[in-house]
Structure formats: structure tokens, C-alpha cells
Amino acid sequence: MPIQRRQFLATIGAGAIAGVAGCSNSGGQSSSGAGVAGETLTLTTTTSTYDTGLLDEIHGDFEEMYGVTVDAVAQGTGAALESARNGDSDVVMVHARGLEDEFMRNGYGINRRDLMFNDFVIVGPENDPANIQGMDSATEALTAIAESESAFVSRGDNSGTHTKELNLWEAAGTEPGGDWYQEIGAGMGEALNNANQQGAYTLSDRGTFISQRSEIDLTILVQGPIEGGPEILANPYGIMAVNPGVHENANYDLAMAYIGWITSPGAQDAISNYEMNGEQLFFPEAVSEDPNFQQYVPEGWSSNSTDG
Amino acid sequence: MVELANVTHAYEDETVVTDLSLAIDPGEVVAIIGPSGVGKTTILRILALFLEPSEGEVRIDSEPIWSLSEDERLQLRRRIGMVFQDASLFDATVARNVEYGLRVRQSWRNRLRDELQSIVGSNGTSEAVTEALDLVGLTDKVNQEARSLSGGEAQRVSFARALAYDPSYLLLDEPTSDLDPRNTDLIEEAILEARDRGIGVGIATHDMHQAERIADRVAVVLGNGIAEFGPAERVFEDPTDERTAKFVSGELVY
Amino acid sequence: MLLEPIAQLLPAVIEHPFREGYVRSIIYVSLYVSVTAVAFSTLFSLPVALVMGFSEFRGKQFVKSIINTGMGFPSVVVGLLVLFAVSKQGPLGAADLIFTREAMIMSQFVLATPPITAISLAAITGVNENVRDAAHVLGGTRLDVALVVIKEARYGIATAILAGFGRAISEVGSVLIVGGNITSSSGISKTRTLTTAIQLEARQGQYDTAMLLGAVLVALVLTVNAIVVRLGDEGAMR
């Protein structure tokens, strides 16, 4: 709708609702230049990231340091980026490089940093019907599963994990389909439970698998790069601030404070110290002696290329 | 005096009342008699000032009420009390029922204050309520739930409810047709007591004997109009209209 | 009484798998959002039901069909609509409502209103016309008559409110979308309700924990129902 009409509606809406909602802090900077203290940072991220409990563990330090509150919203990769695109969050943390790149290319995200990584593993029943145990190629393992038509559970929810899975099938040159391939449209925990009950294979992020290991009978059949498996199963996390040029109400100051903090040696140490069931879940990437320019731009971008 | 002058009223296509004129003076009982369905209820509702007739005038003390504002009409309406054939009590205590009329006539501030007091329990029963219940012989039931009353008791409470705020006129629509003789007696006594206090009473009834017992004037409604309107004695003993004579003597059976 | 030692042990049992104060905070958010939504909804629905019950106006059938459609309207769609409205891109964006309890109240308001209106309407039209006439003829203004009708229909209206509350507090999809299921880093809920907490446990495959929270939710709903019914009975016995 035309700009004026939207602003008019927005004004009416704000006037009518502001009383109910209480004072909104987007209205104006009333506090005397005390920086970001007292403000709230909205961070959107994926459910698997959130469910590891890492954020709840480390955010307290940041909140104390700056006197702020972090609202971590676990939405799933697509929704997290969409919220950021709409200006409903200030900073976004996902692990889907392709989508992050698109986000940056469209101008919504800036100041990207590599944050940390873990990896994916292919898990399945101990009796391993497709015989993929110990394979060092994820794509070959998937091909074997497809050819033997062994049961495979897919998250089917356009999450980062699901996207990774689809990329693997593509790289393997196989299109999965048939009764043995089940898309359940659910989270990682449910997918593991489902696979466990059926004795099926599935692709899982290591973190969720570790946290559920005691309750299910699946084992890791193809390792990820952390334990020497193929690189293709790497799962790197990136963090980006929402571009204040596109959303002027985004809390850019606080977003940058957050990114600065979480990529600092202190927080990166905290990340590597975070354990679940006695195992390290995440491997920090942000602090490095050697330069890593690719983290700031879409993959493959160079000053000679045509985009940006 | 409340009066109807040449009033005609039709619901949808059906004309219920045709060119009807009658009046009720303070301190008298006017019985409106006639068979069931002849329009007595409609007449009462018009007298109660809450049904506007299709044609004709309704006046209180010579003031045509339907040309007044809603507020002014409300004030006049509040001088009238009404008792229906079915007691129509509220699902509350007898006291709350009887004091309803008094409550709605108070300012909102007072009502709020009284409401809060009654929640806390520091309210007694007001005098007007006690008096009204006394008139119908039910002061002992003041805190009883209305739904636990017998039919006769409920009707008597309904009477007290209409009287509690000291109306100038009291209208009753077949108030005793469902009651046993004892309760009928009590109601009729109360009606006469009200009349003696100067209230103008209009009572619709199909019981001629009741009319004979308590009415000062009688309006006989047959067909759509009034066949006869005059002092009770004359109507019963020496009616001018032939149909009246037949009705009164029980020949016209309805 | 048996209940007392159980009531003392219960919080400890329930909180056991969780951090301190977690369960209490999500119960609080659940109640705060639902009770507020139902309160606003009742204030809105009762006058609507009164008008629907006692007056004729053009478009009355249309309003009635909206109410009936609203009863079965998919709640998650309501969530999407509210999201659209309160997102920073949306018409109410400037009010900063996304991921707040107030947005959750909005969506539960939309969900609770149809059942509260429809059931209240049934109760109100069930009030004997003579009682209404009596209230009128004894000198009541329209407002007085409305209050009398509401009092007469109070048990039906209480049922309506309970139905609306049931729908509100059981809501998952829409409050998840507009609220964001947020807790503080120490586990105190900001926009997490019992239902969205259950959803979180379920998606992680923690079905036992989810069931525990489910039991808490059921207990909560039963308690609220019992309280309202008890108040009703006490009124009847007075």
C-alpha cells in the first residue's frame, strides 16, 4: 500500500496500542546517552542451536557486561532469517551458508563473522543394513542407503539440517524417493526418536545426537570432520547484524556489541568449554591468527566479481 | 390520570386493538375484562407506556407521552408499576427482587456504594422493601431465593416488587389466574390496600367475579374495541351494550 | 487433608527436571496472557451478544456467520494474521509488539471471542422475555435491563468464559509465532507458556518432560474450572 497510508495506519495503530503495550523503546532515545544499557537485543536463531542450551549458558555474561537483555528466539533457519528480513530481530545466528550469503547479497545482513562449527553425522541402527559403517564419503553412504532402500528419516522442514541433507543427496547424484524415504516435517529430536523406533538412518547434527544418545539405540555410522570424517559434513555457524540502512529501528549498536562479544576470545573459550553429556559440542572459529576474508562476504565473492 | 384516547394498535398485519379509549384515575381500580386473546395485554403494555400504539394518543395527566423525549418518558414510566401473569422474578433473593425498582432509581454512585456494602454484608433491608413485603404477608421470606418460592408466593413478591417504589399507577395482567384461592385473596386484598393509598390500579382479568369483587370501574373489551366502560355496578347489572350483557351473564362462551 | 502435603511436594517434583523458577514463570505467563485475553474478550463479547440477542439490524446474519466461522477458525492462521499485523513491517509495527506478551494476548483475544460471544448469546437469548420486560417496565434503563439479563444468564456466561479460557490457554501455534517462546538466559519465561514449553520439549524428543508439563497444564485448567463452578454453586446456595 502507498507509503502515506501505511504511515497513517501505523500512527493510528501505535496510538491505539501503545497504551496497552506500555512505553515502547523504539519511540525515542530518552535516556541520556548511556549507550545500550537497559535495552533488549532480539536474536533469532535455529531450533537446533537453541536446544543445545549453549545460548542460555553464555548469554548471562553478555547481559551482565552491558546491562541488557537478550531475547533468543528459536525459530528454525528460514524463519530466523525471515524475521531478520522483516526487521523483527537485530541479529541472526544460523548455520546455512548459502542462505546467509543470499541474506547478505540482498542487503539485509552486514558484518558477518564465522562464529563456530560442529558437524553432522549419519546415524543409524547397529545392524547397519546398508553397510555404511566407517565410510569416509557421505555421498557414497547415502547412495548405499538409497540403493538398499533402507529406511531413512528426513526432517523435511527446510531447516539447516534438512537443507544440508538435500545438498548431500544432490552431491551424490541421487534423488531420494519411495517408501523407505520418510519426510516427517519435524525437529531434530523428533527425527531421532522416529528413526530410533524404526531402526532407520538419519542425518543429525552432532549436538542433538549427543544430547539424546542415552535414550536411543542409534549409533554414529559415518563420522563428521570433527572426528575425522568427510569435510562435506561440516556445519559452520555464522552471525550477522541486521542492516540499519534497511531497518532503521534495528538495534544496531547492541547487535554489534553482541557480535563483538561473541567473537571475542573470552566468549569463544566459553563456547568451546560448553559440554553436553561430557562432550564438547561446538568448536570456536572466530579467533584466529590467520586472516579469513571469506567470512565477511558471500562465498566466492571477490572484488572482480559482479555482485556487490 | 393515565388515559388512552382512540388507540389502535396492530402487530405486523394483525390489528389487535381498535379505536379504544379508557382512563384510570388515582385511587380507583379499573378492571379490564374480556376473553383471552382479545388484546388486554396489549392494552396494559400501552398503559404502562412501553408500547407505542400505531394510532391514537396516550396521556398522563393530560400530557401526551409519545411526543416527549426518551428521558422524560422514562421518568413518567417510573411512576408506574406492573405485575405480569407469570411472576417473572429475577433469579436472586426476594429482597433483591423487591428493591430492584428502588435501585434503578438511585444515582450510580449510590448504587455502587450499596452494591459494595451488600458484598461486605453490612446492608440491612430497606424500609420500603419491608413495607412492601408486609403488604403481601411475606416479610419472613425476605432473604429466600426467588426460585424456591411457590407460585402464589412468587406472584405476591412480584406485587411487592411493583409497589416498593411507591408508584402512582399499578397495572396487573391476569395476576391471579394461576393462583389458588388463598393467594388470590391475598393479592386482591393488597390491590385494595394499594387503591386506598391513592394508587390508580388497572387490572386485566378474564375472571368476572374478580372484577365484581374489587373493581370501581370496568372496561369490557370484546372483539377489538371496548364494548362498555363505566362504573362496575352499572356494567354488571345494567349494561348498555348487548354483547356486554351476554358476556357478563356468561352466555358468550370463550 | 491429603491435599496439603501433596501441594507442598508438588512444586519440588515438578521443578525437578528444570531450573529454579522455570515452571512457575511459564505458568505465570500462561495465566497472565490467557486471563487478560479472556477478560478483554468478555468485555467485548457481552455487549455484542446483548446487541445480537435483542436488536435487529442490517448485517445481523453476517455477524452471526462471522462468529460461527470464528469458532472453528484455525488458530495458527490467526497467529499468522497477528504476526503480519505486529511485525515491524506491518501496520502496527511502530508499537513494537512482536515477540511480546501483548501480541500473544491479541491473538488469544481473537481466538477466545467467538466461543465467548456465541455461548453468551445462547445464554442471553435463553433468558425469559418476561423477565426482561419486567426489568424494563419496573423503571430500568436499557443499561439496567442489560445488567439484569447478564445476571440472569450468568451461569451460561460463565460457561462461555470457561470455554474461551480453555481455548486460549491451550493455544500453541499462534502464541509461538507471535511470542517467540522466549525465556531469559536464566530460564525465567518472557513469552514462553506451558503449551509452547511442551512443544519445545516435544521437538527435542523429550516426551517425558513434555508429558509432565502437560499434566501441569491439565491440572491448571481443571483448577480454574473448579473454582468457577464452585463460585457458581456458592452463589446458588446463598
Cβ-based contacts under 8 A for chains A and C = 102
The pLDDT of residue A22 is 47
Cβ atoms of A168 and A203 closer than 8 Å:
yes
Exposed, middle or buried: residue B190 (CB in 10 Å: 0-12, 13-18, 19+)? Answer: buried
Fold for domain A36-118+235-296? D-Maltodextrin-Binding Protein; domain 2 (3.40.190)
Nearest CB among B77, B88, B145 relative to C131 is that of B88
CB contact under 8 A, A86 and C186: no
Q: Would you give the end-to-end CA distance of chain A in angstroms?
A: 29
- Please list the pLDDT of chain B residue by residue as tens digits (254 residues): 888 877 777 777 777 778 888 889 999 999 998 877 778 888 888 888 888 888 888 888 888 888 888 888 888 888 999 998 888 999 999 999 999 999 888 888 888 888 888 777 766 778 888 888 988 889 888 888 998 999 899 999 999 999 999 899 999 999 988 889 999 999 999 999 999 999 999 999 888 888 888 999 998 887 767 777 888 888 877 777 777 777 777 655 44
CB contact under 8 A, C138 and B82: yes
| A248: contact with C, CB 8 A cutoff | no
Owner of C-alpha cell 389466574: B177
% pLDDT > 90, chain C: 57
| B162: contact with C, CB 8 A cutoff | yes
Nearest CB among C131, C137, C238 relative to B50 is that of C137
Q: Write down the CATH number for the domain with range A119-233.
A: 3.40.190.10
Provide ipTM, 2 decimals.
0.84
Contact call for A and C: 3+ CB–CB distances under 8 Å:
yes
Fold for domain B2-248? Rossmann fold (3.40.50)
Where in chain B are the domains?
2-248
| Beta pairing class for A152-154 and B200-205 | unpaired
Torsion of CA A166, A171, A174, A177, to 10 degrees: 0
CB contact under 8 A, A18 and C203: no
Q: What is the 3-state secondary structure (H, E, C) of B183-212?
A: HHHHHHHHHHHHHHCCCEEEEEECCHHHHH
Task: Give the mean pLDDT of C136-154.
Answer: 91
Q: Any alpha helices (H) in C55-74, and if so which ranges?
A: 60-72
CB contact under 8 A, C185 and A59: yes
| Dist CA A17 CA A24 (whole Å) | 10
CA A249, distance to chain mean position in Å, is: 23
pLDDT tens-digit series, residues A113-172: 999 998 999 999 999 998 889 888 999 999 999 999 999 999 988 788 888 899 899 999
Phi, psi of A224 (to 5 degrees): -100, 175
Residues 91-130 of C with CB under 8 A from B: 128, 130
Q: Write down the CATH number for the domain with range C3-237.
A: 1.10.3720.10
* Among A133, A103, A97, A102, residue whose Cα is nearest residue A115: A97
Where in chain C are the domains?
3-237
pLDDT tens-digit series, residues A3-15: 555 555 555 555 5
Phi, psi of C47 (to 5 degrees): -60, -40
User: Cβ atoms within 10 A of the Cβ of A81, count?
Assistant: 24
Residues 6+ positions from C24 with CB-CB distance below 8 Å: C11, C15
Mean pLDDT, chain C, rounded, equals: 88
What letter does residue B250 receive in the DSSP assignment? T
Amino acid at C194: L
CA C122, distance to chain mean position in Å, is: 19
Cβ atoms of B161 and C138 closer than 8 Å:
yes
> Which stretches of chain A score pLDDT less than 50?
1, 18-34
CB contact under 8 A, A189 and C203: yes
Q: What SS3 state is found at B86?
A: coil
pLDDT tens-digit series, residues C5-34: 556 656 666 666 788 789 999 999 999 999
Contact call for A and B: 3+ CB–CB distances under 8 Å:
no
Edge-to-edge order in the sheet of strand B217-222:
B80-83, B169-173, B200-205, B29-33, B217-222, B225-231
Cβ atoms of C196 and C181 closer than 8 Å:
yes
CA dist list (Å): A272 to A40, A258, A286, B161, C181: 26, 18, 11, 81, 26
State the smallest CA–CA distance between residue C124 and chain B in angstroms: 14
| Dist CA A130 CA A221 (whole Å) | 10
Cβ atoms of C185 and A59 closer than 8 Å:
yes
